Amino acid sequence: MESALDYHTARALLEWQIELGATEAMLDAPVNRYDVPDKPARAKPAVAAEAVAPPPPKVDPVQAARDLAARANDLDSLQQAMQSFEMCDLKRGARSLVFSDGNPAARVMIIGEAPGRDEDRAGKPFVGRAGHLLDRMFAGIDMGRAASLSAKSIYITNVLPWRPPQNRDPKAHEIAMMVPFLQRHVEIVAPEVIVVMGNIACEAVLGKRSITRLRGQWDQAFGKPVLPMCHPAYLLRQSHAKRDAWADLLSLQAKLREI
């Protein structure tokens, strides 16, 4: 019994036929190519594409924050606007919105970075170890959050009102969407001087980083003089920097006298 042709043998036979002048391969049985079938095959109707609703337009969280903040006329309505803002994911993991502490009539507004664990539990900024150091620092120039007189009191808030998970640094897009609320906060309180504490606060307010280089150098933002200072949490880790912090406090005291 002859074995089936393998590929190479079949190809060689086909090439030999072509060399002989073959131009068409014939089937075993004739095919009438003029024969028309009785009923032409009916084309299947095209399936109408299901109507797909266009995706909802993307909402810019920064613009949404601007719109909400612009409608706030006082601190209560600003706090409510921030509480209703749903576009910052930090809100979902935080216990509470940390809005502010101190006297809203204060000459000095302090802007920190973001709440930590203690602040998240208490609902107030700077209540942990760093907060206690902050109170001692300003007590050194006869100022504090509990002072009744505006000339002696301070008002405290943060760039972000919600605690980042594991106290990580806030991300750039998180800072950007909260800056409109911060700016409106400054406009409502109308302090004479702003103190920004730490790199995140410097980035949000001044658009700059490297607090160890910027500290003690007066700048301008939101139409106010701004003094960058090292965050009290940094001072707890780097006690040698407390001397620079004292110099910054004296500079703040001199600025208030000048104003």
CATH of residue 213's domain is 3.40.470.10
Q: What is the pLDDT of residues 40-67, one digit of tens each?
A: 656 666 555 556 777 777 889 999 999 9
pLDDT digits 0-9 by tens, 72-94: 999 999 999 999 999 999 999 99
Residue 131 lies in a domain: yes
pLDDT > 90: percent of the chain: 75
DSSP string covering 77-142: HHHHHHHH----THHHH-SS----EE-TT-SEEEEES---HHHHHHTSSS-SHHHHHHHHHHHTTT
> Can you give the pLDDT at residue 1?
47
**Model pTM score:** 0.78
**Mean residue pLDDT across the chain:** 90
Number of domains in the chain: 1
Mean pLDDT, residues 20-40: 68
**Cβ of 54: how many Cβ atoms within 10 Å?**
5
pLDDT tops 90 at residue 29? no
Residue 34 lies in a domain: no
Whether 24 maps to a domain, the answer reads no
Q: Is there a domain that residue 152 lies in? A: yes
Structure tokens that stand for 146 in this block: 């509990």
Tokens of 224: 């106010």
> Does residue 67 fall inside a structural domain?
yes
Classify residue 19: in a domain, yes or no.
Answer: no
> Does some domain include residue 118?
yes
Residue 220's domain comprises 61-258
Three-state DSSP at 22 gives coil
The string of pLDDT tens digits covering residues 6-15 is 776 777 777 7
